[in-house]
Structures are given as structure tokens and as C-alpha cells.
A and B are shown apart, each in its own frame.
Chain A
């Protein structure tokens, strides 16, 4: 039987970590682009 996926705290922390890195990279690149423009 296939095990049903349940969100555990560390899954959510991981998601927060990667989303944070992603948003940070986007924001810093946007900042660099704005300076160049």
C-alpha cells in the first residue's frame, strides 16, 4: 500500500529555507539589474 505523504515540521522548514534562498536571489538580481538600468 502506498504511504500517504504528511507534512512534517522539517519538511516545512526545508521549504522555508529554499523559498527564502530563492526569493533572496531574485531580489538581489533585481537590485543589480535596476542599478545597471
Chain B
């Protein structure tokens, strides 16, 4: 029985992975082509990365505040937990991070699914095609059609989502069972509370209501599908095709969505940053150590840069948190405690990351003056009816 659920979940993730590499490549290339102006691309890039940094710093701070209020680490008996089980991995240095933006061999990067490499190669291809002008017109047409084709494949794959989500959740819940009600329950609660606070306060109230001036409830209803997919798969890249699909309904122009969303799936870790704040305070509480305000401020800076700089691979949050604890001289037993239930908290991290990507794409469009308020306000039902009439 369990094998069948695992199969359902894996089949769903594989169907999505099948389309991600060509989708990201063609949609970014077509996005840059449709922008037609390299200066606009630079503006979008700078604004996107600035927003990723700001929202990430906000989420580390919220994680810290919630951890200081709820105190998830106090009263836990460490018992037989040992830091020896924690595998320490080195994070790359500054120059390596920059080097890692560019592929040595774009075909090999596509074969390996290295997102940052694919993104940078697609941007270069798009810019080169813009520079070629009229001569590149047939290729431009082809790229636009191929990008549309990938979206059609997603339309087919999307129909399988409920079954995939069912399989993934059944497997995950059966594995963890009652473990989530143990001493670590307070940590899980604090993590979910911090993620929800960040989503409501920073993403919905400050950015959507304050900057874009739209209804956050309506936005969340439209962005609900990618949120759910991210929540159940724990993979930002699995939610990416869904985000790109709903971006059209939200009113984010294609050229912005095709650039900001894939970049967000690799660089933006709003949700994971919440966990960085939490785990550091959690570790200090386990040992009754006090974290000074200076150390906490330093942590906000360090965690933000690490989160934006590190590549998005599954469970990267665990690797970064080990580096953070080590650099602050805190014991690694906290990681050993949390590693067992990491998937449960990673669900809300990934969902927050993916929702954050859509919010950032919306804010960037608003700042660019290209956000389509009419599409956002339009009722889905009316649009869907019109579409089905056309078919």
C-alpha cells in the first residue's frame, strides 16, 4: 500500500521535473525577447534581488522574535541526542558563489537541471537575440511557440496534481506519525506561526496592500494552487510551473513573471530564513545560553546573504543552519533534534518561499508600471467561461 503512495508522489514530481528545464529556458529567453530592452532587464533584476534580500531579512527577524516569545527550546531534555549524527558540509565561498552563476557547459547544466546555470544562459541567449534584431525574427517566433508549448504540457500535468499531493502527504504523514506531538511540537508550532506571521505581515500587508494596493485575500485565492503544491512537495521548482500559470491570472506580465519566478525559485528563501532565526534561538535555549542583540542583528545579515547566495537544493536549509550554528559557536545537537521532523517544517518554508516569489513578481511589475490591475480584478469564472467558449 505504502509503495503505491510513494509511486503516486514520485510520478507527480517526475512529471513536473520533466518540463522544468525547457520551461525555464524558453520562458526566460522569450521573456527577455519580449522586453526588447536590456536596460529594463537590468532594472527588473536589481529590484528583484533587492526585494529578495529585504523580505528575507524581514523573515529572519520574525523568526527571531517568535522564537524569543514562544521559547521552543526551553524545557527539552537532550537525553541521548548527539551532535555526532550531524553531517557537516562546507558552503562555497563568495567567489565560488559568483562563479556558480555561470555554466561551464550549458548542455551539461541542462542535463543536470542546474537552475542558476540555465537562467543565466537563457538571459544571455535572450540578450543576443535582441541584439541580432530583424535577422533573429524566425528564432524569436520559435522560442515564443516553444515557451507556449511547455505551458500546454503543464496544463496536462496539472490535472494529476490532486493524486500526487495525496500520495506525497500520505507517505510523509505515515513516516512521522506521532513524532510531531513530542517535545519538538513547540518548535514546529513556532515555525508555522512565524511563517504565517511573515506571510500576513510582510508579504500581504506591507507589500500587497501597502505597495501594490490590492486585496491580499483575492491575491491569496489566486495564488493558492502553487502554495498548496509547494506545501505538499517541499520543492520550490515543482511549484514553479504552477506559479507561472497563475501569474497570468494575477496580472503579472509574462516578461516579468518568466524572469522573476524562476530566479525566485532558486534564490528566494523567505520561509527558510524564518527557520534560521528560529533554530539559532532554539539551540541557545537548549543550553540556556543568552544571545545578545548584537549577535541577533549579525545573524539577520548573515542568514539573509547565505539564503540568497546558496543554491536551491532540497534541504539546503539544514546545511545552512549548521554553518550558522557553527559560526555563532552554538552546539549542533539542535540540528540532530530537528532533522527528524525537518520535512514537516520544510513544507511551510517552501510554501512561503513560493508565495513570496509571486508577491515579489507582483511588486516588481507594479514598480515597473506594468502590473495589470484589470486582469487582477477580473473574476476567474468569467474568464474561464470566455476561454471555454473560445475552445
Contact = CB atoms under 8 A, between A and B. Distances in A.
Q: Do A and B come from one complex?
A: yes
Interface of A: 9-10, 12-17, 19-21, 23-25, 27-29, 31-32
B177 A20 contact: no
A37 B296 CA distance: 49
A20 B166 contact: yes
16 contacts: A9-B162, A10-B224, A10-B225, A13-B232, A16-B162, A16-B164, A17-B165, A19-B166, A20-B171, A21-B169, A23-B166, A24-B173, A24-B174, A27-B170, A27-B174, A32-B178
B161 A13 contact: yes
A17 B177 contact: no
Interface residues of B, dominant DSSP = helix
B357 to A, nearest CB: 18
Nearest to A18: B169
3 closest A-B pairs by beta carbon, nearest first, are A24-B173, A20-B169, A28-B177
A29 B179 CA distance: 11
Contacts of B166: 16-17, 19-20, 23
Nearest to B225: A10
Interface string B189-230: 000000000000000000000000000000000001100110
B167 interface: yes
Given A20-B166, A25-B177, A28-B177, 5 more contacts: A10-B225, A13-B229, A16-B163, A17-B232, A19-B170
A3 B198 CA distance: 35
B65 interface: no
Contacts, number: 82
B1 interface: yes
Contacts of A21: 169-170, 173
B385 to A, nearest CB: 11
A29 B228 contact: no
B162 A28 contact: no
Contacts of B161: 9, 12-13, 16
Given A16-B169, A17-B165, A23-B170, A28 B175 contact: yes
Contacts of A17: 165-166, 169, 228, 231-232
Given A9-B161, A12-B162, A16-B166, A24 B228 contact: no
B173 A20 contact: yes
Contacts of A23: 5, 166, 170, 173-174
Interface string B140-175: 000000000000000000110111111111111111
Contacts of B172: 20, 24
B176 interface: yes
How many chain B residues sit at the interface, stated as a range, is 20 to 34
Contacts of B5: 20, 23
A28 B169 CA distance: 12
Contacts of A24: 169-175
B2 interface: yes
Contacts of A29: 177-178
Contacts of B171: 20, 24
A28 B172 CA distance: 10
A7 to B, nearest CB: 10
B155 to A, nearest CB: 11
B173 A28 contact: yes
B234 to A, nearest CB: 13
- Residue with the highest number of chain A CB atoms closer than 10 Å, among B1, B163, B170, B178: B170
Nearest to A27: B174
A28 B174 contact: yes
- Residue with the highest number of chain A CB atoms closer than 10 Å, among B1, B165, B175, B224: B165
A17 B224 CA distance: 13
Contacts of A32: 177-178
